């Protein structure tokens, strides 16, 4: 696939990385050990997707730049 014209959809490095599991096990600390509370996308997405969120954030950035 890396020889296809344009941006390759998958490289040899991508294939190599797929040979290794990318999920946690009980052998390593999880998110909670790092002080991160996992949450589902359905829980946090409404906060980021509400229209007023972006405008308020952008307005604050604009005010700082003036």
Contacts of 32 (CB under 8 A, 6+ apart): 38
One digit per residue, pLDDT tens: the chain, 66 residues? 667 777 777 788 888 988 988 877 778 777 888 898 888 998 888 877 776 666 777 788 788 877
- Domain boundaries in the chain? 42-66
């Amino acid at each position: 696939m890396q020889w296809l014209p344009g941006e390759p959809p998958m490289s040899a490095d991508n294939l190599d990385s797929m040979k290794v599991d990318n999920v946690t096990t009980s052998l390593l600390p999880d998110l909670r050990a790092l002080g991160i509370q996992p949450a589902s996308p359905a829980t946090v997405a409404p906060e980021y997707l509400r229209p007023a969120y972006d405008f308020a954030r952008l307005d604050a950035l604009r005010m700082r730049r003036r």
